[in-house]
Amino acid sequence: MKNKRNHPEFLFQIQAAVLLLPRLCYALPVYRFIPITRTFLIIVACAGSLMWPATSSAQQVCRNINVGYSYYPPFSYQDANGLVKGASVEVAKRAFNQMKVDVTLVQMPWARLLREAQDGSIDFIAAAYRTPDRLAWATYSDVPIGYERIVVIHDSHTRFDEPTLNDLRRKKGLLRRGDSHGPEVDQAIAKNILTVDEIPEIEVGLRMLDAGRADYLLTSDAVARDMLRQHLYPDLSFSRVKVAGEALYALFSQQSPCVALADQFNQTIRNLHRQDLMPTLLVQYLKSVGSPLVVELASQSPTQDLGN
């Protein structure tokens, strides 16, 4: 914690002392000589109890945290045995394990996951891009979980040689509902420079591309490599888009009491990084599909300084 006085255990001790004050005062022999009224002591005790919910609730509720994820391999997915795996999921599990917080993993479509996190039904999302809209309801980790380049998946017979956004403007694109791929892409979509239809999940987009119902699908490098290496769509390939890459962050819902754990989570991620556990986890998943990997502390490598 940056400020020891904000630590839950410290506040818990203060609250306990305040609530015990009336008993202590009555027990002291000197109490009969001090003009402390019963009413005053009740007021003090009540004041202490008012401080109780903010920290006690967070402590108790956040001993178990709902970690939301969507199907987004290799960051988060279920394997053939139904086990939840992925780079961002493993990072979250390891961090909360060190924090002595039990994790409940919850899978749902990405757009719904964002809505559930916005209203506090989901406490934490394992990995997401940082956007201005989400900053209104989310508290992001200040350490990137990973870094990704933006690509387009397309028919391998169509020429896409590192396209610019301008090269894509007369083509029909697809984007997973709720996805963001940085300010350049987001603004191009908002200004209708790109014609993009939303799809519920990446798999739906791959089927549409394979059937010739769209020209390209915007996604991240690691996702494209992982999805296409399964060889279910041999006629599809991907090309890097000439836009800045984006860092991925974990986020807490500001409507969840678990947001009180944000500072501790940040420190834990830094500790994992120093112990070389973070890079090991991410290399295991992202390097396995040949995807570029950048994991840097925010203070050492700000998002805007990350090379594409």
Q: Is 67 helix (H, G, I), strand (E, B) or coil?
A: strand
- 305's enclosing H/E stretch is none
pLDDT in tens, 43-98: 444 444 444 444 444 445 689 999 999 988 888 888 888 888 888 898 899 999 99
pLDDT band at 161 (very low <50, low <70, confident <90, very high): confident
Q: How far apart are CA 258 and CA 27, in angstroms?
A: 38
Alpha-carbon Rg of the chain, whole angstroms? 24
Q: Name the pTM for this structure.
A: 0.66
pLDDT band at 259 (very low <50, low <70, confident <90, very high): very high
Name which of 15-24, 136-145, 173-182, 279-288 the model is least confident about: 15-24
Average pLDDT value for the chain: 77
Q: Is 195 helix (H, G, I), strand (E, B) or coil?
A: strand
pLDDT band at 222 (very low <50, low <70, confident <90, very high): confident
Residues 276-299, mean pLDDT to the nearest whole number: 53
Contact 140, 246 (CB under 8 A): no
Does 25 score more than 80 pLDDT? no
CA distances from residue 282 to 75, 278, 279, 294 in whole angstroms, order as listed: 9, 6, 5, 9
pLDDT in tens, 196-207: 999 999 999 999
Residues 272-294, mean pLDDT to the nearest whole number: 61
Q: Which two tokens stand for residue 299?
A: 């203070």
Say which residue, 308 or 132, is predicted with more confidence.
Answer: 132
